[in-house]
């Protein structure tokens, strides 16, 4: 679906983190809708390197880009932005980041998510390229209000994204380019498989059920509620952010909080599974958001964003891909 009247044909687009979940979906959006758009994917790609928590340092995977016809550059945003110095982009979609909320290396988190963003923003200014970047609902942390100005991050990941937003907000005041930060809530959908343990619980529960297992939920999952957003609405927000009424930081969610129990119940209905659920203690108490619900009033007003997929509709659209992944 085309989300605004910009003709991206003949435009040059950079997608950092373009071999990841959201980045690869963006790459194919342009390829499918604007075949003359020049898309460059910049990604660290995965290696065997892991953080101290055992999770991979990069989730970018070539299989997310099978069928992609644009240009691919392997590089680390901390050290390799010089590889892009001879390009002249019209739009930069900055998705690259350490997105694992359980990483405890504060210095590396801030270096990657904040310092590198500042360098990329400087590059965007020099090129006069509009900047659309990934922020996060993790900026709200323990807040009870999910609106701009009510941030209370409870881990270094959320802190780093808030610092990104602060850098962007300061730059907006003196910039001639459009700068839009998108605070993603809980995103799920196609091409997230290679996120491994950090893939959405929609996928993880779906694969558990297809394996013939009981869905493993944290105790009290009927009361743990999040704003779950389907990937297609995230793409919508990114495209609408290319032509904002006003630069700024905006929430990207559905505006509706749903429980993890809801996810399992919808999946069981779509997969025609009747099986009891299994409940386990939550080991992340203190680092865990028990409730999120995006206030999308500003996103509607200044981006023209309107979510198209409820949780039921999103899972229904995703279900065939979950089955394919399971085999």
CA–CA distance, 268 with 246 (Å, rounded to integer): 42
Catalytic-residue membership of 157: yes
The reported pLDDT for the residue numbered 282 is 86
Of 195, 225, 250, 305, the active-site residue reads: 195
Catalytic-residue membership of 195: yes
CA–CA distance, 25 with 27 (Å, rounded to integer): 5
The chain-wide mean pLDDT, for the chain, equals 95
What's the pTM value of the predicted model, to 2 decimals? 0.95
Of 140, 157, 188, 230, the active-site residue reads: 157
**Among 62, 73, 21, 46, which Cα is nearest to 238's?**
21
The reported pLDDT for the residue numbered 27 is 98
DSSP single-letter state for residue 290? S
The reported pLDDT for the residue numbered 287 is 60
Per-residue pLDDT 10s for the chain (327 aa) are: 999 999 999 999 999 999 999 999 999 999 999 999 999 999 999 988 888 888 878 899 999 999 999 999 999 999 999 999 999 999 999 999 998 888 889 999 999 999 999 999 999 999 999 999 999 999 999 899 999 999 999 899 999 999 999 999 999 999 999 999 999 999 999 999 999 888 999 999 999 999 999 999 999 899 899 999 999 999 999 999 999 999 999 999 999 999 999 999 999 999 999 999 999 998 877 666 789 999 999 999 999 999 999 999 999 999 999 999 998
Whether the Cβ atoms of residue 65 and residue 27 lie closer than 8 Å to each other = yes
């Amino acid at each position: 679906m085309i989300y605004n009247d910009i003709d991206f044909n003949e435009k040059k687009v950079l997608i950092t983190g373009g071999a990841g979940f959201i980045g690869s979906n963006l790459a194919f959006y342009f390829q499918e809708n604007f075949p003359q758009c020049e898309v460059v994917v910049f990604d660290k790609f995965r290696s065997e390197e892991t953080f101290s928590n055992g999770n991979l340092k990069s989730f970018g995977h070539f299989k997310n880009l099978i069928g992609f016809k644009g240009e691919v550059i392997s590089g680390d945003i901390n050290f390799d932005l010089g590889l892009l110095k001879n390009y002249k982009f019209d739009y930069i979609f900055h998705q690259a980041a350490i997105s694992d909320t359980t990483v405890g290396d504060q210095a590396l988190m801030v270096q990657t998510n904040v310092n590198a963003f500042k360098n990329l923003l400087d590059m965007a200014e020099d090129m006069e390229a509009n900047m659309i970047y990934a922020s996060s609902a993790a900026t709200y942390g323990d807040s009870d209000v999910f609106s701009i100005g009510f941030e209370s991050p409870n881990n270094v990941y959320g802190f780093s994204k808030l610092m990104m937003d602060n850098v962007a907000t300061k730059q907006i005041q003196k910039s001639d380019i459009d700068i839009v930060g998108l605070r993603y809530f809980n995103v799920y959908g196609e091409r997230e498989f290679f996120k491994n343990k950090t893939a959405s619980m929609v996928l993880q529960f779906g694969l558990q059920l297809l394996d013939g297992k009981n869905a493993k939920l944290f105790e009290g999952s009927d009361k743990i509620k999040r704003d779950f957003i389907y990937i297609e609405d995230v793409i919508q927000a990114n495209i609408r952010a290319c032509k904002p009424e006003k630069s700024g930081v905006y929430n990207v969610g559905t505006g509706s909080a749903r429980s993890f129990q809801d996810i399992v119940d919808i999946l069981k209905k779509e997969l025609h599974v009747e099986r009891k659920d299994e409940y386990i203690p939550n080991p992340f108490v203190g680092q865990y958001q028990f409730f999120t619900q995006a206030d999308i009033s500003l996103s509607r007003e200044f981006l023209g964003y309107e979510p198209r997929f409820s949780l039921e509709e999103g899972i229904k659209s995703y279900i065939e891909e979950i089955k394919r992944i399971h085999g």
